[in-house]
Amino acid sequence: MATSYEEKLEKLKNGAQLLSFSAPALHTAAFSVVFPFVPEGRAGAYHCVEHLFFERAGKRRAPEINAEMTARGSEINGYTAKNYMCFNFVCRKEVFAEQLSLLYSMLTQKEYGEEEEQSVLDVIANEIFEYEFYDNRTADILREAWYDERFTKSVLGTAEDLDLFTEEEIDAARESLFTDGMTIFLAGAFSEEDIGAVPRVKTRLNFRVLQG
C-alpha cells in the first residue's frame, strides 16, 4: 500500500511561518521552533532567558518539568546561537499534544523566584569557565573580521555580565523573541488535530511585528 506524504508551508495569523511534513508511516513526531533576534544589549542576556525557560512552567518547577519529559520518553532541547534561539523535541505521536503544551507553558512563563534565577546564573558561570578553559578563540577571531560588534559578543556573556544583569534586561530580551519572524517546523506522524493545535498555541503567544 502506498504511503502518502504531504509538505505544507503556511503563514499563521500572528505572522509566524509553519513548515510541516506529514509522514503517517512513522511512529514519532518532531517539533522545532526558531526565534530569530538581533543581539542588542548586554552579552549573554538571551542565553539567560533560554535557561530560565527550563526553570518554571506555570506551577511546575524544574524537577516536575524534567519528570514530565522523562515520563514521555522525550526531552525538550534548547540552545542559543548568535542571532536565534531554538527549542525542539521528538516524541511518540501519542504524547505530542502533551509535550507541545509543556513547551508552551515554559515559553509563556514570565515570573521566576530568586532561587531559580540564581540557579541559572550558577550554571552559566560554570559554562563560561569551561568556555574560557578551552581555547575557542579561533572562531571568535574569524567572526570579528566578518561581523559588527553585536554579532561578535559571546553568547554566554562574561562573569562580569552575570553580576550586572537586571530583571529589566532579561525581560526585554525575552519579549524581543516573540516576533512574526518566528518559524515552526513539524514533521512525522502527527494528526490533523495536532497540527491544528500548533497555530492555536502559538497565536496565543504575545507576538510583536518585526519592523522592516
Q: What is the pLDDT of residues 47-64, one digit of tens each?
A: 999 999 999 999 999 999
- Asked if 72 and 98 count as a contact pair (C-beta separation under 8 A), the reply is yes
| Amino acid 207: pLDDT | 43
User: What is the pTM for the complete model shown?
Assistant: 0.85
- Asked if 52 and 117 count as a contact pair (C-beta separation under 8 A), the reply is yes
Indicate the domain borders of the chain: 6-203
Q: C-alpha angle with apex 103: 51 to 113, nearest 5 degrees?
A: 45
Q: What is the pLDDT of residues 173-207, one digit of tens each?
A: 999 998 888 999 999 988 777 766 665 555 445 44
| Neighbouring residues of 155: CB distance < 8 A, sequence distance ≥ 6 | 43, 44, 46, 47, 80, 81, 82
CA separation for the pair 31, 41 (Å, rounded): 30
| Amino acid 116: pLDDT | 94
| Amino acid 65: pLDDT | 97
Cell of 139: 572562531
Burial class of residue 191 in the structure, from the number of CB atoms within 10 Å of its CB (0-12 exposed, 13-18 middle, 19+ buried)? middle
- Asked if 48 and 75 count as a contact pair (C-beta separation under 8 A), the reply is no
CA separation for the pair 207, 198 (Å, rounded): 15
Name the class of domain 6-203: alpha beta
Low-confidence ranges of the chain (pLDDT < 70): 1-3, 133-152, 195-212
